[in-house]
Amino acid sequence: MDELAILGGEPAVPEGMLQPWPPISDLDREYVMASLESDRHTFGPNCTKLEEEFAAWNGNKYAVTTNSGTAALHMAVAATGCGCGDHVIVPAYSWSSSVTCVIHHNCLPVFVDIDYETMNIDPAKIEAAITPRTRAIIVVHLHGLAADMEAILDIARRHDLKVIEDCCQAHGAMVGGRKVGTWGDCAAFSFNQNKCLCSGEGGMFVTDDQAIYERARQVWSFGETRTPVESRDYHAYALGWMYRNNDLTAAFGRAQLARLDDYLQTQRENAAVLLQQLQDVPGLILPTEPPGFVHNWYNFTIRIDMQAIGWDGAPARMRDAVLKALNAEGVPATVWQRWILPAMTVFQARNAYGQGCPWSCPYTEQLPPYDPADFPVAQRHSDTHFGMTTPLRAPHGPDVARAVAKGIRKVFSSIHKLDVDEILKEG
Ligand SMILES: *Cc1c(COP(=O)(O)O)cnc(C)c1O
C-alpha cells in the first residue's frame, strides 16, 4: 500500500498539486501594464520607487536597484574599497557569485569553512584566515538563516575589515531583532525567480553609508557620478559597468514586494508543519533556527545522517538515490550545490582573466593553491544535503507541506529497499 513510487507505488504528492512561483495577481498586471504603456523602459519611475520602497521595507538609508544580485555583490566589493590584490574572506560553500564578485574586482578570495549546524561561515575559523592584505568579509545568510553577525562584526572591528552581506536568499531574515542587510557596511539582494522576492531577474544594493552608496552608484552606471534621473555628463570618472535595472522589471518587483511580508509568513507556517511532521524520522538532520534568529525559510535544507541509516558508502551516492526516490514521490527536492566553491574549476585552474590573473598579478600577495580538503565541513554538507524551496512558498498551504512530509517519511521508512547502484545506473 505504501510502496515507494520509485518501485511502482503511488506518489505521495499528487500531480498538479504544486503551483508555479510566484503567484501572479491583478496588482502585478496593473503595475506591469502601466509600465509597458508608459514611455520609460530603461531606468524609470518604477525603479526609483522600488528603491524607496525596498529601503523602507528593509530599514536602509540607501538602495540601488540592479539587474541581478551578482551585480549588487560586485558593487559591494568595489564600494567598500577592495582593490587590486586585496584579500576578501568568503565561505567555502555558497552560490558561485558570492565569490566570483571578488575576482571581478581583481581581489583574491580566501575561503573559510562553514559550520555544519547553521551551514553558514564558521566565525571561529575566520581569524586564522586573515592576512595583512585582508580588506573585507563576505557573509552569506545561506538558505535564509542569518550568519552569526555579532561574532563576525566583532572580528571585523578588531581587524578593521569591511563586512558585505550576501542577502540574496535571506529577504526578511533576522538576528538579534534586526533584519539582514542592516548589519554590515552594505548588502546585496537578488530578485531572481528562485528567490523569495521575484521580479524575473533583478537585485538590490543597500547601505546606510553615504560614501559607499556614492561609489556603488558609480560602478553601477558606466563610472558616471550622476544618476540617470539627473542631467548626465556621460563621463566615466572611474571604471563602471551597466548594472541598472529596467522599469518593467521594477514594476513587477514592486507589485511582489507589496506581498512579501505575507509570502514570508506563509513560508514560516509551512516550515513549521514540515518541522513538526518530520521531527521523529530517523536519518534526517532537520534545519535549525537557533534562539535569537528568525529564519525566512527560503530553502528547507535537510541533511541525511548516513550513520543512522546504516550507509557506509560514498554519502553523495546515497543522497542522489534518495533524491530520485523523493522526486518519484512528487517531492520537488533538489541538490542545491554539488560543488564546494574552492573545488570549482575557476578557482582550481585560476582561469579568470588569463595569464593566471588576478592571482598572478604582481601587486597581489600570492596565495597557495586552494585545497578542497581544507573544507571538510562544507564537503560533508554538500554530499549529504537536499533541499526544497517552492513547496514552502505561497500559494501553497499546509496541505502541500503535509503531502511533501509524507513523501519524505515514506522514502526514509523504506530506505533499506533502495538499491543505490540500480537507481543511479542511468546517471
Ligand atoms: C542567487 C544568489 C546570488 C546571485 O543572485 P542573481 O540575482 O542570480 O545574480 C548570489 N548569492 C546567493 C547566495 C544566491 O543565492
* Domain co-membership, 279 together with 138: no
CB proximity list for 22: less than 8 A, separation 6 or greater: 193, 198, 256, 263, 393, 394
Q: How many CB atoms lie within 10 A of CB 154?
A: 12
* Domain co-membership, 329 together with 208: no
The answer to whether residues 293 and 149 touch, using CB atoms and an 8 Å cutoff, is: no
* Domain co-membership, 124 together with 63: yes
Q: Domain containing 150: what range?
A: 26-258
* Domain co-membership, 204 together with 333: no
In a domain, 372, yes or no: no
**Domain count of the fold of the chain:** 2
- Percentage of the chain beyond pLDDT 70 is 100
Give 148 Cα–ligand 1 centroid separation in angstroms.
Answer: 20
DSSP state for residue 391 in the 8-state scheme: G
Give pLDDT, residue 29: 98
Q: Cell 557569485 sits at which residue?
A: 97
Give pLDDT, residue 365: 78
Calculate the average pLDDT of the chain. Answer: 96
The answer to whether residues 107 and 82 touch, using CB atoms and an 8 Å cutoff, is: yes
* Domain co-membership, 210 together with 272: no
| pLDDT value at 42 more than 80 | yes
Residue where a domain stops, chosen among 199, 226, 258: 258
Best of 94, 192, 193, 249 for a ligand 1 pocket test (most atoms within 8 Å of beta carbon): 192
Residue where a domain stops, chosen among 206, 235, 258: 258
In a domain, 327, yes or no: yes
Q: Rounded CA gap, 67 and 88, in Å?
A: 24
Give pLDDT, residue 1: 53
| pLDDT value at 421 more than 60 | yes
* Domain co-membership, 226 together with 280: no
Question: Assign residue 215 a region: left if phi > 0, alpha if psi is -120 to 50, beta otherwise?
Answer: alpha
Around ligand 1, the residues with Cβ closer than 6 Å are 68-70, 94-95, 97-98, 140, 166, 168-169, 190, 192, 203
By CB atoms closer than 10 A (0-12, 13-18, 19+), residue 90 is: buried
The answer to which of 119-133, 223-237, 241-255, 379-393 has the lowest mean pLDDT is: 223-237
pTM above the 0.85 mark?
yes
In a domain, 371, yes or no: no
* Domain co-membership, 65 together with 83: yes
Residue where a domain stops, chosen among 239, 258, 277: 258
The answer to whether residues 321 and 420 touch, using CB atoms and an 8 Å cutoff, is: yes
DSSP state letters, 215-272: HHHHHHBTT-SS-TTS------SS---B-B--HHHHHHHHHHHTTHHHHHHHHHHHHH
Q: How confident is the model at residue 238 (pLDDT cuts 50, 70, 90)?
A: confident
Sign of CA dihedral 348, 349, 354, 357: positive
Give pLDDT, residue 48: 98
In a domain, 11, yes or no: yes
Give pLDDT, residue 231: 82
* Domain co-membership, 276 together with 412: yes
In a domain, 369, yes or no: no
Q: How confident is the model at residue 426 (pLDDT cuts 50, 70, 90)?
A: confident
Give 189 Cα–ligand 1 centroid separation in angstroms.
Answer: 8
